[in-house]
A and B are shown apart, each in its own frame.
Chain A
Amino acid sequence: DAGITQSPRHKVTETGTPVTLRCHQTENHRYMYWYRQDPGHGLRLIHYSYGVKDTDKGEVSDGYSVSRSKTEDFLLTLESATSSQTSVYFCAISESDTGDPSGTFGSGTRLTVV
């Protein structure tokens, strides 16, 4: 997926442990997003960022925090992982400065909380 790298691609973690997922872009775009995707649901927005140190909550932000100290990196942290956070997490960037996501997603991180 052009310009976006997510790491790790797969992770298994124990309930109660903190987990950090990383999204790295090479194209210097302003807007970045974290989504989760679960069977039977559409993608749901967790948090988004509109610049360095500028972030805001999406519709399913409880239990998650984010940080963006550099334009190219957007981190998603599960403060204390729970089984309900088992999901596939996607990072996306907007190629528009207006913030309308223009469709570039990463390959996803499959997270399993046991």
Chain B
Amino acid sequence: DAGVIQSPRHEVTEMGQEVTLRCKPISGHNSLFWYRQTMMRGLELLIYFNNNVPIDDSGMPEDRFSAKMPNASFSTLKIQPSEPRDSAVYFCASSFQLAGTDTQYFGPGTRLTVL
């Protein structure tokens, strides 16, 4: 398996622009997570999907952030409009939720820079 695939790997944009990050989870996994990682705050969970349904979006910073999972093999995280404080590495992770100890498999991340 190719693992979790994220695109783009790097994104540089200007403040106010729309940014869309993409994720393809591992085939057969039923849970998908979006995280944001910064030096100041570490790894923060933004949103969690189970069977394509958003279960917990309490970590989404504000209305500028939205996430969708139209099917089991694709998810997007959109920021509109983007701001410099959104600069971070965004990770997508997937897992097969069976019990409370299942493994999350992370993608390589998208490094976002908002100028």
- Do A and B truly interact? no
Which B positions have Cβ atoms within 8 angstroms of A? none
Which A positions have Cβ atoms within 8 angstroms of B? none
